[in-house]
């Protein structure tokens, strides 16, 4: 069957619904709009979006803006949908369900249709729920990159900050698969969840004696590695808790480092940036997103990796704005998933 015949299965409109950010603002005031369906060229796929996963990064940039954005800007980075148009010979084929983490420098995925380069997507198995697949890209990829950056190996001791967050949940499971001894922080109400995911020891991040309790549990040697999902003062504290020449992967902007701390710990500091794969215009890095997507899908399908609990969000500007504000306020566990179409 030719590509043209496959495309004829889908009635593609000229315009579509989308949720846009008119300008960055602290309240995250989004608008429902009607815009043109994007045109695709070369190896781009036109995808009918089914589900969008929301991330704290979406909320952060909705408040502060992003240097590459033009406004109004369609938000959203994580998507699952069905390919409805592709040039002849381009894989995946029309009719395939795909998952991806979108280019942060271009328009996002909170729309009925969007376009994406074919080499950056992963094909979603029919046996896996598309809503479940939408929980995977940003958080799962951040966890995998973090573990690679700190070179986790069997027997390592690793601290995972924010163990009940989506990144933390994936990181705990993959760190245990690699044979690490996993320590995590979480609010007391989430300790049971974090231990169920595989954490050996969990600490309350609100505990004023957190550092003392970690040292009593761990001993004087310090952590081999840390995944720092918080940033700021937490980064400095985590470096203090590491062994000399320990490794830390940072998912948020770095603080100002005290030189005395740097001399005493000589940390190996890595920065985690999924969006950098797009901003650096690195084809290899963009293809790696697809490879990581495949790994995440395999883990979710086999049951080796448990995905975060889903909180459904309506495809309206008001509902998405409320969900993003909820995420940035802290304390949310799981993933907000917007159903765009079924």
pLDDT of 2 reads 40
pLDDT at 5 over 50: no
Task: Judge if 207 and 300 occupy the same domain.
Answer: no
Q: What is the DSSP letter of 164?
A: T
Bridge partners of 100, per DSSP, are 79
Last residue of a domain, one of 271, 306, 324: 271
Flag whether 60 is in a domain: yes
Confidence of residue 8 (pLDDT cuts 50, 70, 90): low
227-262 per-position pLDDT tens digit? 999 999 999 999 999 999 999 999 999 999 999 999
Q: Is residue 283 part of a domain?
A: no
316 — pLDDT class (breaks 50, 70, 90) = very high
The string of pLDDT tens digits covering residues 35-60 is: 999 999 999 999 999 999 999 999 99
Whether 277 is covered by a domain: the verdict is: no
Q: If you average pLDDT over every residue of the chain, what do you get?
A: 94
Cβ-in-10-Å burial (0-12, 13-18, 19+) of 201 comes to middle
Do residues 36 and 111 share a domain? yes
Q: Residue 168 pLDDT > 70, yes or no?
A: yes
Are 48 and 9 in contact by the 8 Å Cβ rule? The answer is: no
Helix extents (H) in the chain: 3-7, 56-64, 130-133, 137-149, 166-177, 191-196, 210-218, 233-240, 259-265, 276-279, 283-302, 317-329
- Residue-level pLDDT at 1: 40
Say yes or no: 30 and 154 in one domain: no
Residue pLDDT, tens place only, 154-166: 999 999 999 999 9
Residue of higher predicted confidence among 333 and 292? 292
Co-location of 230 and 256 in the same domain: yes
The pLDDT-based confidence of 220 (bands split at 50, 70, 90) is confident
Residue 265 sits in the same domain as residue 325? no
In a domain, 279, yes or no: no
Q: What is the mean pLDDT of residues 51-71?
A: 95
Crossing angle of helices 283-302 and 137-149, rounded to 10°: 110
Instruction: Please answer whether residues 324 and 28 qualify as being in contact, where contact means their C-beta atoms are separated by less than 8 angstroms.
Output: yes
Residue 36: give the domain boundaries.
Answer: 3-135+293-339
Q: How many separate domains does the chain show?
A: 2
Q: Examine the domain organization and report whether 306 and 331 are in the same domain.
A: yes
pLDDT in tens, 275-286: 999 999 999 999
The answer as to whether 309 is a domain residue is yes
Q: At 197, which CATH number?
A: 3.40.50.720
Name the domain boundary from 271, 305, 326. Answer: 271
Confidence of residue 267 (pLDDT cuts 50, 70, 90): very high
Pairing of the two strands 122-123 and 97-101 = antiparallel
Same domain, 186 and 203: yes
| Between 89 and 246, the higher pLDDT residue | 246
pLDDT of residue 201: 97
Cα 256 vs. chain centroid, distance in angstroms? 25
CATH number of the domain bearing residue 314: 3.90.180.10
Q: State the average pLDDT over residues 77-105.
A: 96
- 6-14 average pLDDT score: 76
Neighbouring CB atoms inside 10 A of 306's CB total 16
- The encoded tokens of residue 38 equal 């994007």
pLDDT at residue 19, rounded to an integer: 98
């Amino acid at each position: 069957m030719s590509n043209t015949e496959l495309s004829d299965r889908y009635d593609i409109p000229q315009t579509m619904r989308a949720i846009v950010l008119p300008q960055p603002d602290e309240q995250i005031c989004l608008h429902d709009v009607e815009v043109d369906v994007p045109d695709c060229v070369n190896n781009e796929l036109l995808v009918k979006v089914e589900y969008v996963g929301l991330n704290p990064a979406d909320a952060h940039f909705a408040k502060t803006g992003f240097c590459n954005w033009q406004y109004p800007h369609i938000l959203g980075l994580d998507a699952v949908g069905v390919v409805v148009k592709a040039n002849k010979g381009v894989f995946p084929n029309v009719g395939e369900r795909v998952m991806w983490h979108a280019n942060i420098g271009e328009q996002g995925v909170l729309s009925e249709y969007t376009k994406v380069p074919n080499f950056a997507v992963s094909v979603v198995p029919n046996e896996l729920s598309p809503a479940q697949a939408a929980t995977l890209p940003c958080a799962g990829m951040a966890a995998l990159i973090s573990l690679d950056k700190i070179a986790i190996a069997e027997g390592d001791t690793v601290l995972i900050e924010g163990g009940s967050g989506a990144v933390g949940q994936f990181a705990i499971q993959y760190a245990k698969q690699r044979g690490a001894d996993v320590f995590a922080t979480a609010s007391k109400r989430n300790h049971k969840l974090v231990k169920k995911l595989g954490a050996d020891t969990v600490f309350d991040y609100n505990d004023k004696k957190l550092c003392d309790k970690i040292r009593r549990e761990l001993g004087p040697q310090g952590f081999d590695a840390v995944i720092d999902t918080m940033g700021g003062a937490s980064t400095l504290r985590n470096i203090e808790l590491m062994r000399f020449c320990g490794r830390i992967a940072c998912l948020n902007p770095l603080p100002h480092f005290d030189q005395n701390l740097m001399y005493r710990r000589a940390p190996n500091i890595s920065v985690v940036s999924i969006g950098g794969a797009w901003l650096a215009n690195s084809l290899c890095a963009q293809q790696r997103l697809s490879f990581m997507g495949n790994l995440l899908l395999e883990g979710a399908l086999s049951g080796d990796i448990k995905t975060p609990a889903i909180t459904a969000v309506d495809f309206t500007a008001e509902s998405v704005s409320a969900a993003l504000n909820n995420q940035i306020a802290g304390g949310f566990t799981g993933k907000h998933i917007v159903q765009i179409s079924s």
